[in-house]
Amino acid sequence: MHKGGIILNLTIRDVAKVADVSPSTVSRVLNNSSRISDPTKKRVLKVIKELNYHPNNLARNFANQNSKMIGLIEDLNEVEAFNNIYFYKVILGLEKTIYEYGYNLMFINYNNRENKEIFKKLIMEKRVDGIIFPSFLFNKNILSFFKKKNFPFVLLGEPFEGINKVNWVDVDNKLAGELVTQHLIDKGYRKIAFIGPSFKVNFAYKRFLGYKETLAKNDFEMNSKYVLTDINTEKSAYITMNNVLEKHNELDAVICVNNLIAYGALKAIKEKGLDIPENFGIVTFDKYPLANYLEPKLTTVDLDLIALGVEAGKTLVQSIENNISKKQHTIINTSLVEEESTLRKG
């Protein structure tokens, strides 16, 4: 039915059908995304003009039961998470990507029973269209809830075994662990410690696997006393590194699972008067922008966390808009960046 030349109840899907493109393409054209080629953009705009389509975002969202909001789950009990550049970089990539598709980001706290109920309510009331969920907070009960609601979600990080047929994106953590361990061995370090959070956190476990398997590949025996877990803060890393150096003065290198741990460990090593890198090597994964001001600069693995956020956003939007049933697993490549903390002379 027409009224004043406007077709009532016209939706993006109607425009997409006439223009022979996907609804997400029409959405990107309306949001002036640079991802759309000029010929496609012109064709879509022409159809919009011919149909006299006037998008009313609020009405459109209610009609289609779309909020144009994507939820990012965080546990605010983990205070250090907000001091960690990991979180910030992922958000940069995620927010930039979903915004280009016409979505906004909502932070959802998940740190107690009340907040978990609020999270479920947001989904049941369709106040978010999809969820990005850190894999270390995910479990089978949440999976069952999502499947029952047929609700789109993507895990940030590869899940543990037993969580199957889900979308997830991650960096190649096992390869990252292999790269730093082999680098230390190639540089002549022999007694290498590994320090990080609980292995219930999958990225820590994967990096440990890379460490363990690389030691074995080089015929090095892994000493369980050199493997230190449940370390989550700079302070706990400092205390733990002090203790292990007191007990094991034969140690000559340490792999730190993240930057906060590396900074605490570095402080302890320097206070012991050990020469870095000649007497002791230290490596970590990714780095803060301020890392270049450390002395010495730390050898690290470039994890490309912004790309991780980008891929999480793309995967979720595709799942929301195209109802893709096949689950996607995306692994972002990693590379070693050698700095002063392992740059031995000769």
pLDDT tens figures, 262-289: 999 999 999 999 999 999 999 999 876 6
Same domain, 202 and 282: yes
Residue 179 pLDDT > 50: yes
Same domain, 257 and 313: no
In SS3 terms, the chain reads as CEECCEECCCCHHHHHHHHCCCHHHHHHHHCCCCCCCHHHHHHHHHHHHHHCCCCCHHHHHHHCCCCCEEEEEECCCCHHHHHCHHHHHHHHHHHHHHHHCCCEEEEEECCCHHHHHHHHHHHHCCCCCEEEEEHHHCCHHHHHHHHHHCCCEEEECCCCCCCCCCCEEEECHHHHHHHHHHHHHHCCCCCEEEECCCCCCHHHHHHHHHHHHHHHHCCCCCCHHHEECCCCCHHHHHHHHHHHHHHCCCCCEEEECCHHHHHHHHHHHHHCCCCCCCCCEEEEECCCHHHHHCCCCCEEEECCHHHHHHHHHHHHHHHHHHCCCCCCEEEECCEEECCHHHCCCC
Instruction: Look at 84 and 299; give whichever has higher pLDDT.
Output: 299
CA–CA separation, 233 vs 322, rounded Å? 41
Residue 80 pLDDT > 60: no
Calculate mean pLDDT across residues 323-341.
88
In the prediction, which pLDDT does 6 show? 40
Please give the residue range of the domain that contains residue 224: 173-303+336-342
Reported as a pLDDT band with limits 50, 70 and 90, residue 7 is very low
Calculate mean pLDDT across residues 300-318.
94
Of 45, 63, 81, the residue at which a domain comes to its end is 63
Residue 35 pLDDT > 90: no
Of 35, 63, 91, the residue at which a domain comes to its end is 63
CATH number at residue 247: 3.40.50.2300
Q: What is the pTM of this model?
A: 0.76
Calculate mean pLDDT across residues 208-213.
98
| 116-148 CB burial, b ≥16 within 10 A, e <16 | eeebeebbeebebbbbbbbbbbbeeebbeebee
CA–CA separation, 302 vs 287, rounded Å? 8
Instruction: Look at 84 and 107; give whichever has higher pLDDT.
Output: 107
Same domain, 25 and 125: no
Same domain, 166 and 310: yes
In the prediction, which pLDDT does 11 show? 74
Calculate mean pLDDT across residues 187-213.
95
Reported as a pLDDT band with limits 50, 70 and 90, residue 338 is very high
Q: How far is CA 128 from the centre of its chain?
A: 20
Same domain, 138 and 235: no
Same domain, 244 and 325: no
Residue 71 pLDDT > 70: yes
Same domain, 85 and 101: yes
Calculate mean pLDDT across residues 190-209.
95
Q: Residue 106: which residues within 8 A CB-CB, separation 6 or more?
A: 69, 70, 71, 72, 128
Same domain, 263 and 184: yes
Structure tokens given for 334: 């990693």
- How many domains does one find in the chain? 3
Same domain, 194 and 295: yes
User: Using one digit for the tens of pLDDT, what is the confidence trace for 86-96?
Assistant: 778 899 999 99
In the prediction, which pLDDT does 55 show? 61
Mean residue pLDDT across the chain: 86
Residue 173 · residue 129 · CB < 8 Å: no
Same domain, 177 and 290: yes
Same domain, 287 and 316: no
In the prediction, which pLDDT does 201 show? 87
Of 63, 98, 114, the residue at which a domain comes to its end is 63
